[in-house]
Amino acid sequence: MLAVQGVSRSFGGVYAVRDVTLDVADGEVCAVIGPNGAGKSTLFNLITGHLAAERGAISFLGRRVDRLAPHRRARLGMSIVFQAARVFRGMTVRENVMVGLHGSTSAGFVAAALRLPRHRRDEREIAARADAALERVGLADWADRPADRLPIGQQRALQLARALCARPRLLLLDEPASGLRGQERERLAELVEELRADGLTILLVEHDVAFVTRLADRIVVLDLGRVIADGPPAEVRNDPLVLAAYLGQSA
C-alpha cells in the first residue's frame, strides 16, 4: 500500500532521515520507533507531504505521491492524526468531527454558503457520517456534549473519529499514546486493534516501545535517521543494534 524508497531529508547539512526504505502492506499495522531525534517526525512529515524529500520516492496505492501536496495525498486515501491535536472549544463532539467534512460532499462550499437545499441534504449526510465514526470509536453517547470537557483519552478517540470520516485506506498516527496513561492507553490500543480488524492499514510513529510491541505486526526502528531494524516485534525487541540505540540514549 505504501512504499518509501531511499528517502532522505536534511536540515542545515545534517541528515534527519537518510536513505530510508520501508513498505506497509495492505491490512498491516506498522510502527516506526526510535530514540529522541531518530528522525521519526521527519519521516512522518515526508510521508504526509508536510515536508519535501530531497531524494527517493514515495508511492501510495501504486502511484508516486512524493510531489503531491498533503491535501492531494489525503484525497487518495491517507488520513492523519497529528500528535496532541486539539479539539475546537465551544463545539460539541459531533460538530468537532463534522468540521472539515464540508468540503468533501458533492454540493461543496458554494451550496453551503448559499444554504441551498443541496447543502441541507449534505448537512444530514455529514452528521450521519460523523455519528457512524463516533459510534466506531465508542463516543456515541458523547456526541452532543462540549468537546473540551472530554478526558484526554477520549479527545484522542475524537481525533480518530475525525480521521475515519474521510474513509481512509491508510491511517497515519503521530505518537498516538503520548500523554496517555493506564486505562486510557489500554483503551486506545484496543481501538487501534479494532480498526485493524476492520481492515484498515495503519502506520504509526511512536516513542513508546511497549505500546507498539503489542499492537504492531511489524516494527521499523530508526536511529540517527537510518533504518537499523525492520521485522516482527519479537525479533526487533532482541536486536542488539536496537538495544544499543536505546541504551545509548539512556546512558
Does 39 engage in binding with ligand ATP (CB under 6 A)? yes
| CA atoms lying within 13 Å on the CB side of residue 166 | 23
Q: Is 40 in the site for ligand ATP (CB under 6 A)?
A: yes
Closer residue to ligand ATP, CB minimum distance, 66 or 223:
223
Q: Judged by CB under 6 A, does residue 226 bind ligand ATP?
A: no
Residue 52 Cβ vs ligand ATP, minimum distance, rounded to whole Å:
12
Q: What x/- string results for residues 190 through 219 when contact with ligand ATP is judged by CB under 6 A?
A: -----------------x------------
Closest CA to 209 of 242, 179, 186: 242
77 binds ligand ATP (CB under 6 A): no
Residue placing its CB nearer to ligand ATP in the complex, 36 or 183: 36
Question: Cα 174 from chain centroid?
Answer: 5
Rounded to whole angstroms, the Cα distance separating 62 from 75 reads 15
Alpha-carbon distance 199 to 242, whole Å?
A: 30
What the block records as the C-alpha cell of 156 is: 484522542
Q: Does 126 bind ligand ATP (CB under 6 A)?
A: no
- d(CA 157, CA 13) in angstroms, rounded, equals 39
Does 74 engage in binding with ligand ATP (CB under 6 A)?
no
| Residues making contact with ligand ATP (CB under 6 A) | 11, 16, 34, 36-42, 207
